[in-house]
Amino acid sequence: MILSDKDIRILLRAGELVIEPLDDEVVRENGLDLRLGNGYCAFKDTDKVLDPRAPGSPEEFYECREGESFVIEPHRHYLLHTLEYVKLPPYLAGLVNLRSTWARTGIYIPSTVVDAGFEGQLTIEVIGSEFPVRLYAGERFLHLVLVKLETPSERPYSGEYKGQRGVKLPKFFKVQAGI
């Protein structure tokens, strides 16, 4: 079952669902519009092989920065993060979509699921359009559809990305890029 705005507000008031900071504008008809944070990591064009057993330095593969705005270059891959810190109970999962306005610019995000019990700012991959597009921190960018599970998860998410803030690179990098 997909939650409505009414369902979402009930869970927020009860403290079952946590969104921080919470702006009433993010609660939509059938989900949450999450805003962009101010950090991003651009994938570097390199011939170096990323070996998950010996990944080396993240700076060899990612260029990470902060800013109030940045440009998504054509066909380039980026990791962005949400402004909101999300905490899902063990009976809710989330499906992340790009807001329609941004999809109409040609920007693309791969299918992303937020596991039941996850908490943290979301890190999301974004792929550039045919032309450069400027993004601004604080803009409503993603739509998170909340889905109620028939029964709560017996093993809610407890992985290495739990509690993350900012862009979180793949977990095999023991040292994260600084942004």
Strand partners, 136: 69
Q: Check if the beta carbon of residue 92 is closer than 8 Å to that of residue 115.
A: no
- pLDDT by residue (tens digit) across 118-129? 999 999 999 999
Q: For the residues of 77-95, what is the DSSP string, one character each?
A: EEEEEEEEEEE--TTEEEE
Cis peptide, bond prior to residue 52, ω within 30 of zero = no
3-state secondary structure 155-166: CCCCCCCCCECC
The CATH H-level (homologous superfamily) assignment of domain 5-45+71-148 is Deoxyuridine triphosphatase (dUTPase) (2.70.40.10)
Instruction: Take residue 15 and report the two structure tokens written for it.
Output: 């403290």
pLDDT above 90 for 66: yes
* CA separation for the pair 75, 45 (Å, rounded): 12
Residue 60 sits at φ, ψ, to 5 deg, of: -75, -20
160 catalytic residue (yes or no): no
* CA separation for the pair 127, 1 (Å, rounded): 30
Active-site hit among 66, 73, 119, 125: 125
Confidence band of 174 (pLDDT split at 50, 70, 90): confident
- pLDDT by residue (tens digit) across 101-143? 999 999 999 999 999 999 999 999 999 999 999 999 999 999 9
Residue 120 Rama label (left phi>0; alpha psi -120 to 50; beta)? left
pLDDT above 70 for 176: no
Instruction: Take residue 80 and report the two structure tokens written for it.
Output: 């962005």
* CA separation for the pair 3, 19 (Å, rounded): 15
User: So where are the chain's domains?
Assistant: 5-45+71-148
Confidence band of 175 (pLDDT split at 50, 70, 90): low
- pLDDT by residue (tens digit) across 16-65? 999 999 999 999 999 999 999 999 999 999 999 999 999 999 999 999 99
Strand partners, 102: none
